[in-house]
Amino acid sequence: MRNFVSHKQACQLLHNKFVVVLVSSNQRAIYKDLVLLLQKDKFLTLKQLQTKGEMNFEQDCLVEGGCLSKLHNGISYREVRQFQSDHHLVRFYFLTRIYSQYMESVLEDFRQGLKPDVVVINSCLWDISRYSRNWTGDYKESLHRCFEELKAILPEETLVIWNLTMPLGEKIKGGFLVPEIQHMASQLRFDVIEANFFSGTLADAYNLDVVDLHFHFRFSLHRRTNDGVHWDNVALRRITSVLLRHAADAWGVALTSPPDASEHSVAEIKLSANINKNGAPKYQAPQPYSPMYGRIPLPPPPSSSFRFPYENRPVRDDFASRPHGDLGPYRQSVLRNQCTTRQHYAPYPLGRCNRYNY
């Protein structure tokens, strides 16, 4: 949870920025999570994750498609949303193919209108399942055309992030998986890996930024929902944090937030209450005793520069920084393990044969 980007950090990073999210159904909630994070430090609810095409979501507006037209799972489905505040502008386009006539109209909006500062784009599942079983050639050609248009239309200072598709489950179900392509369900998770490899390599060749979400979530499969395609609110907040930290690194911005003032003052009060005017602690705890080394000296009291919380302090490897053989504050626990007599524990009954010869 400490690696998550907070509301304050997101607002400062995207101050006066225009963000465009061009994704398909499996990453649609990235836009919702970003809009929610720009307003408060909360996670999306289950109802917000399952709802699509609604008229309003957290003070945003539906511009095109969605409930304004018929909701369906066809390749012609459209949905355009926009969230605007005093210092933030986020726009969402629903994609069913990486390059089509609809994608050309979206790029035309960028050519004629306001140029975005950040573009988050991904399209894979619909491309490799809904149009042709032999998707390799068409998908590669569409990626080439899309990346060429992006480089030609957008200015150099625009940060274009290509997201790789997240891992699928063995058994999947969802809106894009219509009955006509049910036979492809068991093979799609392998096709996604192949598509990710080519799209990531090609995006890097066009000097676009690549974020490998498939790699980031390879050990977080428990965050996937029951349909095997979408992910829960904690995983979405992690995706948003990964994207924002990537943007911060690209812009040379350090995402560091100062500790809370109330916690900082309470910590200083507790620390000063246990120290006399001369700097010595009011209460001296008894020193630990070892039968081999006698009295073990306690570590020195904290200096005046000591500050809470511990999260913002650099991590120091005590074993690497100490000379060989000097255990310091760890000596007591080590000696306790050596000197204490432990009771014998036999996990098997006496009549069981011994498989190992000690």
pLDDT of residue 27: 87
Nearest-angstrom CA–CA distance, 252 and 245: 10
* Torsion angles phi and psi, residue 98, rounded to 5: -70, -30
Strand positions, DSSP E, the chain = 17-23, 61-65, 79-84, 88-94, 118-121, 159-163, 209-211, 289-290, 294-295
289-325 pLDDT, tens digit per residue, is 445 545 555 555 554 444 444 344 444 344 344 344 4
Nearest to 62 by CA among 38, 78, 41: 78
CATH number of 7-251: 3.40.50.1110
Question: Which residues, 6 or more positions from 339, have their beta carbon under 8 angstroms from its beta carbon?
Answer: 291, 292
316-343 pLDDT, tens digit per residue, is 344 344 344 443 443 333 333 444 444 5
pLDDT of residue 206: 94
Structure tokens at 201: 């390599």
Q: What is the DSSP letter of 255?
A: -
Nearest to 212 by CA among 254, 170, 242: 242
pTM of the predicted protein model? 0.71
65-109 pLDDT, tens digit per residue, is 988 988 888 888 999 999 999 999 999 999 999 999 999 999 999
**Residues facing 22 on adjacent strands:** 93, 121
Structure tokens at 178: 């219509």
Give span(s): CATH 3.40.50.1110, the chain: 7-251
Helices (H), 212-341: 213-216, 233-251, 261-273, 318-321, 331-339
Nearest-angstrom CA–CA distance, 121 and 65: 19
